[in-house]
Amino acid sequence: MPGILGKKIGMSRLLQDDGRVIPLTLVYCEPNVITQVKTAEKDGYPAIVLGFSKLKKERKNKKFYFQKEFRVNPETEYKKGDAINVNIFENGEVVQVTGTSKGKGFQGVMKRHHFAGGPRSHGSHMKREPGSIGARAKPGRVHKGKRMAGHMGFEKITLKKTPIVHLDSEKHLIGIKGPVPGAPNSLIIIRKIA
């Protein structure tokens, strides 16, 4: 199984016997349901679609709040309606975690890109401005990729090698070492590393 969908609960910590403290993020992964099985003959590639967080009132073509497609090994057999739970992982296993970072709205260059700003002395009219943004008449435009004010946060972030330090199959909880991107109750995708 390539992965599972979950909901971020928040951060906690594990106290070790030798006195060490391990910070962790708790992710609630109720059993995911396979909603669709794709095959190489029919769809061109083998994959499964997992559904997470069932809707209170099911619609004709939507039964879950979140659905995500995972590529799978063509030799493994999956059936529509099967449940995937946290038992596919082991304690200490290294995984890949994807989440959407917290949105911070429209921000200026000092907060967004850590610009120093101008002098704050009496009479200065350039305190938090970005400064000059273009060259001269030759390009006659602002170069692409110029760091300026704009929308900050709410981006897809993937942590590549993150260990699982706590696993509770009865409560459907996975404890991932360190912080995980996203606000509480946001969708988290946990993938196995091949």
Domains contained in the chain, CATH given: 3-117+147-192 (2.40.30.10)
Could you give the maximum distance between any two Cα atoms of the chain, in Å? 73
Alpha-helical regions (H) of the chain: 40-43, 109-113
- Picking from 185, 175, 1, the residue whose alpha carbon sits closest to that of residue 99 is 185
Mean pLDDT by 10 residues, the chain (194 residues): 91 93 95 93 92 89 91 88 92 95 96 94 92 87 94 96 94 95 95 87
Q: Let me know if 20 is exposed, middle or buried by CB neighbors in 10 A (0-12, 13-18, 19+).
A: exposed
**Could you tell me if 175 and 164 are in contact, meaning their C-beta atoms sit under 8 angstroms apart?**
yes
What count of Cα atoms within 13 Å lies in the side-chain half-sphere of residue 46? 10
**pLDDT score recorded for residue 11:** 95
Query: How many residues appear in the chain?
Result: 194
Helices in 47-168 by DSSP H: which ranges? Answer: 109-113
User: What's the whole-model pTM score?
Assistant: 0.86
Q: Return the amino acid letter for 61.
A: N
